[in-house]
Structure 1
Amino acid sequence: MKKNGLLHSELNKTIAAMGHGDMLVIADTGLPVPVDVPVIDLAFCKGKISFLDALEVIADELEIESYIVAEELQHRNASLIEKIQGILKKPSEQLTHEAFKDLSKGAIAVVRTGEWTPYSNIILVAGVPF
């Protein structure tokens, strides 16, 4: 049994299987999940597990090269972008929410959180630790 770090077995397996350039989405409760993309559901009630809680834990486990958020987040919740930048300290890109949803069709998985704040979604692009 793992004694620390990420304990969710399905999420551990997904991260371990990712290669350079693979994408993992962390989503709020409202983001539509593409039909052929697996969902790792962490939500158990409104606000639990939060987007930032999931991001912090996943960022400790996954080598992240860059990330993508929706442009709308800047207008709806600029403080969240600052918090994301503080956690990741990586290059970022912004797309329209529609383009973000379209790009998420190519993700390895969507990690659904209990986040109840609009546009609290991110695509993490896997890097290489060497």
Structure 2
Amino acid sequence: MLIGIPKILSPELVKTLMEMGHGDEIVFADANFPAASHAKRLIRCDGQSIPALLEAVLQHFPLDQYVAKPAALMQVVPGDQVETPIWAVYQEIIERKTGVTEPFEEVERFAFYERAKEAYAIVITGESALYANLMLKKGVII
């Protein structure tokens, strides 16, 4: 145990966040995401929600300040009648923790999958909201 590290952050996740360099990306995947078949490094956070992990991670993880959109969401497939209220939750957390007011780019579903394959790691969660997948690009500590 360490002081100041939220209990929701496993040792494996903390190690991965520390190993990542500027520009590396990490995916926080919902429970439906094909994480095991796409991940270079798979971190299991079964039963955890993405908002709870995001709250904890952003205490220690700088977003890339040199790109226009340091976070990416999986775009809703045209024709899907899906509400995405979780995106507003992510927006509120990111803005409160980092000050970034417009962090998101929306990435087409299959392009998101391809980009996730190149991510430093994928964190599979128990998140049940649809289209809840979130990708963060790591910045530098100034």
Regarding TM over 0.5, the answer is yes
Q: Equivalent of 2:71, from 42, 67, 71?
A: 67
Residue of structure 2 in register with 1:57 after alignment: 56
Equivalent residue for 2:42? 39
Q: What is the DSSP-based 3-state SS (H/G/I as helix, E as strand, rest coil) of the residue aligned with 1:115?
A: coil
Structure 1: 5+ residue stretches without partners: none
Residue 35 of structure 1: CA displacement?
A: 4.4
Asked whether the equivalents of residues 29 and 123 of structure 2 are also in contact (C-alpha less than 8 Å), the reply is yes
**TM-score normalised per structure 2:** 0.80
Q: CA RMSD in A?
A: 1.8
Structure 1 residue identity aligned to 2:71: Y
The answer to whether structure 1 residue 128 and structure 2 residue 140 are counterparts is yes
User: Offset of 1:121 from its aligned partner?
Assistant: 0.6
Contact 1:71–1:97 (CA under 8 A) maintained in structure 2:
yes
- Partner deviation per Cα, 1:37-93 (whole Å, 9 max, x = no partner): 1111010xxxx21111111111112111210001218x6233211111111123221
The amino acid across from 2:21 in the alignment is: G
Q: For residue 90 of structure 2, what is the aligned residue in structure 1? A: 84
Q: Which amino acid in the other structure matches residue 43 of structure 2?
A: I
Contact 1:63 1:126 in 2 (8 A): yes
**Secondary structure of the equivalent of 1:37?**
coil
- 1:5 CA drift (Å): 2.0
Q: Which residue of 2 aligns with 1:5?
A: 5
What is the distance in 1 between the residues matched to 2:89 and 2:39? Answer: 31
Q: Is the 2:86–2:129 Cα contact (8 Å) retained in structure 1?
A: no
* Partner residue, 1:103: 115
* Paired positions, count: 125
After superposing the two structures, state which structure 1 stretch, 97-106 or 2-11, moved more: 2-11
Cα pair 2:30 2:132 within 8 Å, conserved: yes
> Please, what TM-score do these two structures have when normalized by structure 1?
0.86
